[in-house]
A and B are shown apart, each in its own frame.
Chain A
Amino acid sequence: MVSSRIKRYLARHLQMLFGSLGRLYRQPLASLMTVAVIGIALALPAALHIIISNAQLLGGRWDSVADLSVYTRLDVTEEEAVALAEQLRTRDDVAEVTLVTRNAALEEFRRLSGFGDAVAALEDNPLPHVLVVRPVAGQDSAAAVQALAGQLDALEQTDIVQMDTEWVRRFNAIVDVVRRAAIIAASMLAVAVIVIVGNTIRLDIQNRRSEIEITMLIGASRAFIRRPFLYSGLWYGLAGGLVAAVLIQATLGLLSEPVGRIAGLYGSDFRLASAGVAGTAALVGGGALLGWLGSWIAAARHMQSIDPR
Chain B
Amino acid sequence: MIRFENVFLRYPGGREALSGLDLHVERGELAYLTGHSGAGKSTLLRLIALILRPTRGQVFVNGQNTARISRRRIPAYRRNIGMVFQDHKLLYDRTVFDNVALPLVVAGAGRKETGRRVRAALDQVGLLGKEKRPPVSLSTGEQQRVGIARAVVAKPPLLIADEPTGNLDPGLSEEIMSLFTRFSDVGVTVLIASHDLALIDRLGNRIIRLDSGKAVADGVPPPREGDYRG
Taking Cβ atoms with an 8 Å cutoff, the residues of A that contact B are: 4, 8-9, 11-12, 210-211, 214-222, 224, 307-309
> Closest residue to A23 on the B side, CB-wise?
B93
Known A-B contacts A8-B108, A221-B75; the reply to A215 vs B102 at CB < 8 A is: yes
Known A-B contacts A12-B108, A224-B106, A307-B51; the reply to A219 vs B79 at CB < 8 A is: yes
Question: Do B78 and A219 touch across chains, with their CB atoms under 8 A apart?
Answer: yes
Question: Do B91 and A211 touch across chains, with their CB atoms under 8 A apart?
Answer: yes
Contacts of B49 in A (CB 8 A): 217, 308
Question: Do A214 and B89 touch across chains, with their CB atoms under 8 A apart?
Answer: yes
> Closest residue to B106 on the A side, CB-wise?
A220
Given contacts A8-B110, A307-B51, 18 further A-B contacts (CB under 8 A): A4-B110, A8-B111, A11-B111, A12-B105, A210-B89, A211-B91, A211-B93, A214-B89, A214-B91, A215-B106, A216-B75, A216-B78, A217-B83, A218-B102, A218-B150, A219-B77, A219-B81, A221-B106
A308 vs B49: C-alpha distance when bound (angstroms): 10
Contacts of A217 in B (CB 8 A): 49, 51, 78, 83, 89
Q: Does B76 contact A (CB under 8 A)?
A: yes
Contacts of B77 in A (CB 8 A): 219
> Closest residue to B90 on the A side, CB-wise?
A214
Closest A-B pairs by Cβ, 9 of them:
A219-B79, A219-B78, A221-B75, A220-B106, A214-B89, A219-B75, A218-B103, A308-B51, A8-B110
Taking Cβ atoms with an 8 Å cutoff, the residues of B that contact A are: 49, 51, 75-79, 81, 83, 89-91, 93, 102-103, 105-108, 110-111, 150
Contacts of B150 in A (CB 8 A): 218
A289 vs B89: C-alpha distance when bound (angstroms): 35
A141 vs B32: C-alpha distance when bound (angstroms): 92
CB distance from A307 to the nearest CB of B (A): 7
CB distance from B100 to the nearest CB of A (A): 11
Contacts of A12 in B (CB 8 A): 105, 108
> Closest residue to B75 on the A side, CB-wise?
A221
CB distance from B89 to the nearest CB of A (A): 5
Contacts of B78 in A (CB 8 A): 216-219
- Could you count the A-B residue pairs with CB atoms below 8 Å apart for me: how many are there? 51
CB distance from A43 to the nearest CB of B (A): 34
CB distance from A20 to the nearest CB of B (A): 13
> Closest residue to A221 on the B side, CB-wise?
B75
Contacts of B75 in A (CB 8 A): 216, 219-222, 224
A32 vs B205: C-alpha distance when bound (angstroms): 58
Contacts of A11 in B (CB 8 A): 111
Query: A8, A12, A216, A218 — which one has the most chain B CB atoms within 10 A of its CB?
Result: A218
Contacts of A8 in B (CB 8 A): 108, 110-111
Contacts of A219 in B (CB 8 A): 75-79, 81, 103, 106-107
A224 vs B111: C-alpha distance when bound (angstroms): 17
A309 vs B107: C-alpha distance when bound (angstroms): 22
> Closest residue to B99 on the A side, CB-wise?
A214
CB distance from B12 to the nearest CB of A (A): 12
What are 23 A-B residue pairs whose CB atoms fall within 8 Å in the complex?
Answer: A11-B111, A12-B105, A12-B108, A210-B89, A211-B93, A214-B90, A215-B106, A216-B75, A216-B78, A217-B83, A218-B79, A218-B103, A218-B150, A219-B78, A219-B79, A219-B81, A219-B107, A220-B106, A221-B75, A221-B76, A224-B106, A308-B49, A308-B51
A9 vs B110: C-alpha distance when bound (angstroms): 9
Question: Do A9 and B108 touch across chains, with their CB atoms under 8 A apart?
Answer: yes
CB distance from B90 to the nearest CB of A (A): 8
CB distance from B118 to the nearest CB of A (A): 14
A64 vs B79: C-alpha distance when bound (angstroms): 71
Contacts of B90 in A (CB 8 A): 214
A219 vs B79: C-alpha distance when bound (angstroms): 5
A295 vs B110: C-alpha distance when bound (angstroms): 28
CB distance from A227 to the nearest CB of B (A): 11
CB distance from A209 to the nearest CB of B (A): 12
CB distance from B217 to the nearest CB of A (A): 29
Question: Do B106 and A218 touch across chains, with their CB atoms under 8 A apart?
Answer: yes
A55 vs B78: C-alpha distance when bound (angstroms): 62
